[in-house]
Amino acid sequence: MHNKNNEKERLQVLLKENETDYANSIYLNPIKEYIDLKRNKKEKEIFFKNNPVCIGIASEIPNKGDWFTVQLIDTPILVVRKNTGEISAYLNICTHRGAKIAKDKGQKAYSFKCPYHSWVYNLEGQLIGRPREKAFSKIPKEDCSLKEIKIHNNKGFLWITLNSKASKEYKKGLNDLKSMVENYNLNNYYHFKKKELHKQLNWKLAVDTFLEIYHIDSLHNNSLSPIIMSDLATFDNYGPHIKITGARTSVLDDKNSLKTKNDYEEHTIKVYTLFPNTILVGHPEHVEIWNILPGNSVNECHVSLSLFSKEKPLTDSAKKHWENNFNLAIDVVEKEDFPLGEDIQKGFYADPKRKLIFGKNEPGLQHFHKSIKTAIKNS
């Protein structure tokens, strides 16, 4: 691990030498870890049930009554901005007969009505109405509130804790995160747009997409290569979390472009992995948030992209600008990265005993998979 305090100087050296940060050695990662059913089940239990997991961003629901839903493995969750302005999470299951009380997302709701028998819940999760009340009089409405799930708002990142015993682990992980994302408070960003994808590849393979920029010139030669320098980046880890800082090609136009803080931000791109499943791609005026969750099978995952800008676009030209940025991000990943990833996933079964080779110039991949192994070993 490098000295995080001199990231700018380190990147300047890498630019001068046309080099990148290296791991100490090559790392071999078994293909079995992407296709083994028992391993997949264990990962779901450890990373998405028994430990805190980031499931969204607070500014997705900026106003009272705004809400969104998420399926975390086999647990349906409703996330709501309450009348107090605080955010709560509930089990998205009616206490009557188990139907989901909300789907997708929405704005400015006053209450939630179950579609099955019209039981009504307020934003605090309390049951406030049900038809034929006398038929249920022996079970008070107070005993029929939605089950609340622990949720933590860390600078706009919303962390769900399904296992109540995981709070200690969350606090430890939070300490690692504090310094890594100190420049971002997503509570204050504007949520521009979101798109959800269902892909035929293991969730870890989807995360791998964001853990190295060695492939920029090859896979993204017409899209990202003119913008981002390939195979040139600093690497830092904060516990299991990862920060990769790359240089934009614009830095080549000005040898002094990394001297000031503002210029440094303008000419770099930062990719953060909030272990285990969330990617923040940091740009000067906006961020992309990629959230990746396992699907029903070992060969599936659910992916969402949200774009957040520092300010709400008020003009048509500003809206078009962010629309173009969103389309570039989703097109690169959906049309270039993930089709290749889906082919890789299929190919794993041809030689399942083989091991993938993570080069010394791919420290992000190495650290992520080592962190996965360590967490499983310690569980």
- The CATH number covering residue 127 comes to 2.102.10.10
Residue 347 above 70 pLDDT? Answer: yes
Q: Residue 294 is part of a domain; what is its CATH number?
A: 3.90.380.10
The predicted structure's pLDDT at residue 1: 46
Residue 181 above 90 pLDDT? Answer: no
The predicted structure's pLDDT at residue 184: 85
Same structural domain, 153 and 195: no
Same structural domain, 215 and 298: yes
Give the chain's domain count: 2
Residue 12 lies inside a defined structural domain of this protein? yes
Same structural domain, 117 and 237: no
The predicted structure's pLDDT at residue 111: 98
Residue 176 lies inside a defined structural domain of this protein? no
Domain boundary among the residues 129, 162, 195 is at 162
Residue 342 above 50 pLDDT? Answer: yes
The predicted structure's pLDDT at residue 72: 94
Domain boundary among the residues 128, 162, 196 is at 162
Same structural domain, 24 and 158: no
- pLDDT tens digits, residue range 230-270? 999 999 999 999 999 999 999 888 755 677 777 888 899 99
The predicted structure's pLDDT at residue 57: 96
The predicted structure's pLDDT at residue 258: 75
> Which of 112, 114, 51 minimizes the C-alpha distance to 81?
112
The predicted structure's pLDDT at residue 169: 54
Same structural domain, 248 and 329: yes
Interval 65-77 mean pLDDT: 96
Residue 6 above 90 pLDDT? Answer: no
Structural domain harbouring 366 = 4-51+184-378
- pLDDT tens digits, residue range 114-165? 999 999 999 999 999 999 999 999 999 999 999 999 999 988 999 998 887 7
